[in-house]
Structure 1
Amino acid sequence: MAGGQCVICLSEAVREGEDGVRFTVTRVTGEEPAFVVRFGGRVYAYFNRCAHVPIELDWQPGRFFDDSRLYLICATHGALYEPESGRCVAGPCRGAYLKSIPVVERDGGVFLVE
C-alpha cells in the first residue's frame, strides 16, 4: 500500500467489455468479494453482490457482462446493471444499485482507494 492505495491488478488485466477481475475487500465484518471491469475506457469496481439478493453476480469467475457487453448481469436473476453507475435497469431490483468501490487507474495499475 502506498499513499492510501492498494493495487488490485495491472491495467492490462481489465479489458474493455471482457471478463472482470475478482478481488476481495477487507472490512470490519470480514473479507467481501468484489470485482473491477472496464467500460467506455474507464474502470469501475463493485462489491460482488446482486442488489436483489446478496449473492455473487458471476456464474463463472469474472463473467460479469451480458452477451451484448453493454450491461453487467446477475447470472441467477438476470438483473441488468449499468457498468458506469451500477444502477439496475432490468430485473427484480430495477432502480437499485450495486455498491460501488472507489478505484483509480494510474501507472499501469488499478488501485483500491482506501
Structure 2
Amino acid sequence: MAESAARVICASSALVERGLAVRFTVTDANGQQRPALAVRYMGRVYAYLNACQHIPVELDLQDGNVFDLSGHYPVCSMHGALYEPNSGRCVGGPCRGRKLTALPVHEADDLIWLDTDAV
C-alpha cells in the first residue's frame, strides 16, 4: 500500500483553542497558490481554503483573526458570514447553507499536517 503524502503546516502548539488561525497556502488542481487557514476548535484541528462563500475574499482582515467575539464561529470580516468551525457550513449571513472548502489535515508528533495527496 502506498504511503500518503503530507506536509507540515505548523507546530501543534501554534494552534490555540479558538485562537488565531495559522495561515498557509495550497496548490490547487490548476497549479494556482490558494490561501488557506487552520484552526483548533473543541480540541480538534480543522483547515479550509481562506475564501468566504459569499464573495471569495479572505476571511481575516488581520492575519489569523477569524473567530467572532464569542469564539464560537469563524467570521468573514468583510461580510459578517458566520461559519461552523467543525464543518465549514455558513450558519449566518449572506451565504447561509454554503460551506467553506475543507482541507484534509491531521495532528501527529506535535505537528499539524496537510494531507497533500487529497488536496
Q: Are 1:94 and 2:96 matched, yes or no?
A: yes
Query: Pairwise CA RMSD of aligned residues?
Result: 1.0
Q: State the partner residue of 1:52.
A: 54
**Whose strand proportion is higher, 1 or 2?**
1
1:68, 1:15 → 2: CA distance?
15
Shift of 1:96: 0.4
Q: State the partner residue of 2:113.
A: 111
3-state SS of 1:110 partner: strand
Compute the TM-score of the two structures, normalised by the length of structure 1: 0.96
User: How is 1:5-24 mapped onto 2 (pairs within 5 angstroms)?
Assistant: 5-24=6-25
Compute the TM-score of the two structures, normalised by the length of structure 2: 0.92
3-state SS of 2:56 partner: coil
1:3, 1:79 → 2: CA distance?
34
1:9, 1:75 → 2: CA distance?
24
Q: Please identify runs of 4+ aligned residues in structure 1 that moved more than 6 A.
A: none
Q: Are 1:85 and 2:77 matched, yes or no?
A: no
Q: Deviations over 1:60-109 (max 9, x none)?
A: 00001000000000000000000000000000000000000000000000
What is the one-letter code of the residue matched to 2:83? Y
Q: Are 1:42 and 2:57 matched, yes or no?
A: no
1:34, 1:73 → 2: CA distance?
14
Shift of 1:3: 4.5
2:64, 2:88 → 1: CA distance?
16
Identical aligned residues as a percent: 52
Which consecutive unaligned segments of at least 5 residues does structure 1 have?
A: none
Shift of 1:23: 0.2
Q: Are 1:64 and 2:66 matched, yes or no?
A: yes
